[in-house]
Amino acid sequence: MKQFDIFDISPTKSVAIIGGGPAGLMAAEVIASAGHSVSVFDAMPSVGRKFLLAGVGGMNITHAEPAEDFRARYSANAQFINSLKQFDADALRQWVHGLGVDTFVGSSGRVFPTDMKAAPLLRAWLHRLRELGVKIYPRHRWLGWSEQGDLNFSAQENGNAITKTINADALVLALGGASWQRLGSNGAWVPLLRERSVRVNELVPSNCGFDVIWSEFLINQHAGAPLQGVGLSCVDTQGMPRQILSEAIISAYGIEGTGIYALSKYLRENVAQNGSALLNIDLLPDLSPEKIVQKLNKPREKNSLSNFLRKQFNLSPVKLALLRELTSKQTFENPALLAMAIKKLSVTLTATRPIDEAISSAGGVAAKELDASYMLKKIPGVFCAGEMLDWDAPTGGYLLTGCFASGRAAGNGVVSYLRAAHVG
Last residue of a domain, which of 316, 333, 352? 352
Rounded CA separation 119/128 (Å): 14
Torsion of CA 236, 241, 244, 250, to 10 degrees: 50
Q: Exposed, middle or buried: residue 81 (CB in 10 Å: 0-12, 13-18, 19+)?
A: middle
Last residue of a domain, which of 322, 352, 382? 352
**Structural element, H or E, at residue 143:** strand 140-145
The answer on 149 and 190 residing in a single domain is yes
The answer on 293 and 177 residing in a single domain is no
Q: Do residues 176 and 25 make contact, with C-beta atoms less than 8 angstroms apart?
A: no
Residue 182, pLDDT > 90, answer no
User: Total structural domains in the chain?
Assistant: 2
The answer on 404 and 271 residing in a single domain is no
Rounded CA separation 180/391 (Å): 17
The answer on 243 and 189 residing in a single domain is no
Among the residue ranges 130-139, 159-168, 207-216, 241-250, the one predicted with the least confidence is 159-168
Residue 12, pLDDT > 70, answer no
The alpha carbon dihedral of 179, 182, 184, 186 has a sign of positive
pTM of the model as a whole: 0.90
pLDDT digits (tens, 9 = 90+) for 366-422: 999 999 999 999 999 999 999 999 999 999 999 999 999 999 999 999 999 999 876
Helices 317-326 and 335-343, axial angle in degrees (round to 10): 110
User: pLDDT-derived band of residue 139, with 50, 70 and 90 as boundaries?
Assistant: very high
The answer on 268 and 170 residing in a single domain is no
The answer on 121 and 216 residing in a single domain is no
The alpha carbon dihedral of 138, 140, 145, 147 has a sign of negative
Last residue of a domain, which of 302, 324, 352? 352
The answer on 343 and 214 residing in a single domain is yes
Read off the CATH number of the domain in which 64 is found: 3.50.50.60
pLDDT digits (tens, 9 = 90+) for 270-329: 999 999 999 999 999 999 999 999 999 888 888 888 888 888 899 999 999 999 999 998
Domain of 19?
A: 2-204+361-423
Rounded CA separation 326/341 (Å): 9
Whole-number pLDDT of residue 271: 98
The answer on 179 and 73 residing in a single domain is yes
Q: Do residues 389 and 364 make contact, with C-beta atoms less than 8 angstroms apart?
A: yes
Q: Exposed, middle or buried: residue 182 (CB in 10 Å: 0-12, 13-18, 19+)?
A: exposed
Whole-number pLDDT of residue 423: 61
SS3 label, residue 280: strand
Report DSSP letters for 157-215, one per residue: ETTEEEEEEEE-SEEEE----SSSGGGT---THHHHHHTTT--EEEEEEES--EE----
The answer on 281 and 180 residing in a single domain is no
Mean pLDDT score, 133-146: 96
The answer on 224 and 190 residing in a single domain is no
pLDDT digits (tens, 9 = 90+) for 23-47: 999 999 999 999 999 999 999 999 9
The answer on 24 and 117 residing in a single domain is yes
**How crowded is the C-beta side of 40, counted as CA atoms within 13 Å?**
32
Rounded CA separation 135/418 (Å): 19
The answer on 418 and 272 residing in a single domain is no
